[in-house]
């Protein structure tokens, strides 16, 4: 594994360069834009590699009053991957990392942030996989994430359901109804906006489970935090792979 700098961020290349893959997946761990969760990084990368998707982990900037810094880092990471590797490029984000992935999905063509139309076209994700994502700055907001980005400024830019258009990428979204940290309404409002704009969308709401389950497999159990493996929730990963194959593979060939 090696790392490359992307603006202030670090992009880990989590595979051997001879690896033959259908395409690439850039993983954005969660952590409320204050830290980055290890259980949503390397373990997820290994699973994607097992299914012949080239994994990267983006260690984007975290802290306070970040503004669009993480967004520009995600765009830079996507441009890097697209310029070096063949095939579709997918963004997979967890919690606040899901917010980051969805932010690029709706703001990739923002001329105020990204000058140059040619550059903007290369940073549009081909698809999004959003895992219990932070989406809204409204009533169901995860206030910590929004405050890390916006501070005391207007947070509307970061309320992503208000910025969906028909140019947003196809999206696979999952959440648990029992999530008390990032309410399921975040996924529901984003899926509704995508469908309203004619964007291909697959949404799974699992009835049980707290926030931050990651792959929901035994090796990632955090018993003291209540994060216990759940085979039903763990199906999200295989479902997302099936969805990707339906989008990008034709008769077994990319």
Q: Tell me: the pLDDT tens digits for 120-144?
A: 989 999 999 999 999 999 999 999 9
Beta strand extents in the chain (DSSP E only): 2-6, 9-13, 23-28, 53-59, 89-94, 127-131, 171-176, 201-206
Q: What percentage of residues in the chain have a pLDDT greater than 90?
A: 86
Residue 12 has pLDDT above 60, yes or no: yes
Q: What is the mean pLDDT of the chain?
A: 94
pLDDT in tens, 32-59: 999 999 999 999 999 999 999 999 999 9
pLDDT value at 154 more than 80 = no
Encoding tokens for residue 223? 């018993």
132 torsion bin: left (phi>0), alpha (psi -120 to 50), beta (else): left
pLDDT of the residue at 116: 81
Helix (H, G, I), strand (E, B) or coil at 89: strand
Indicate the SS3 state at residue 156.
helix
CB distance 78 to 89 below 8 Å: yes
What is residue 251's predicted lDDT score, i.e. its pLDDT?
47
pLDDT of residue 250: 64
Q: Would you say the C-alpha torsion 42, 209, 53, 75 has a positive or negative sign?
A: negative
Its pTM surpasses 0.85: yes
The fraction of the chain above a pLDDT of 70, given in percent, is 97
| Cα–Cα separations (whole angstroms), residue 198 to 121, 194, 203, 220, 244 | 20, 6, 14, 36, 18
The CATH classification of domain 2-248, taken from the options 3.20.20.70, 3.40.640.10, 3.40.50.1820, 3.40.920.10: 3.40.50.1820
Say if CB 109 and CB 43 are below 8 A apart: no
| pLDDT tens figures, 162-190 | 999 999 999 999 999 999 999 999 999 99
pLDDT score recorded for residue 254:
43
Q: What is the pLDDT of residue 241?
A: 98
Give the tokens for residue 21: 């893959």
pLDDT of residue 252: 44
Helices (H), 116-228: 117-122, 143-150, 185-196
- pLDDT by residue (tens digit) across 52-96? 999 999 999 999 999 999 999 999 999 999 999 999 999 999 999
Q: Give the three-state DSSP class for 25.
A: strand
Q: What is the pLDDT of residue 57?
A: 98
Task: Pull the structure tokens for residue 40.
Answer: 């949503």
């Amino acid at each position: 594994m090696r790392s490359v700098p992307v603006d202030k961020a670090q992009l880990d290349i989590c595979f051997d360069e001879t690896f033959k893959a259908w395409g690439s997946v850039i993983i954005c761990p969660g952590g409320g834009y204050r830290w980055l969760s290890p259980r949503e990084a390397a373990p997820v990368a290994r699973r994607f590699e097992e299914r012949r998707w080239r994994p990267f982990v983006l260690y984007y900037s975290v802290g306070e009053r970040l503004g669009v810094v993480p967004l520009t880092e995600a765009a830079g990471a996507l441009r890097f991957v697209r310029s070096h590797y063949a095939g579709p490029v997918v963004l997979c984000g967890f919690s606040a990392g899901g917010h980051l992935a969805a932010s690029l999905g709706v703001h990739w063509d923002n001329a105020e942030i990204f000058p140059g139309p040619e550059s903007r076209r290369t940073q549009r994700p081909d698809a999004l996989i959003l895992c219990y994502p932070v989406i809204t700055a409204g009533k169901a907001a995860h206030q910590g994430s929004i405050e890390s980005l916006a501070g005391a400024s207007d947070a509307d830019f970061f309320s992503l359901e208000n910025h969906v258009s028909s140019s947003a990428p196809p999206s696979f979204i999952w959440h648990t109804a029992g999530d008390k940290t990032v309410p399921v309404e975040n996924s529901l409002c984003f899926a509704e906006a995508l469908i309203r704009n004619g964007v291909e969308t697959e949404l799974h709401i699992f009835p049980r489970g707290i926030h931050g389950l990651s792959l929901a497999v035994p090796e990632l159990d955090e018993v003291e935090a209540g994060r216990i493996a759940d085979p039903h929730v763990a199906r999200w990963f295989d479902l997302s792979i099936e969805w990707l194959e339906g989008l990008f593979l034709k008769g077994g060939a990319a």
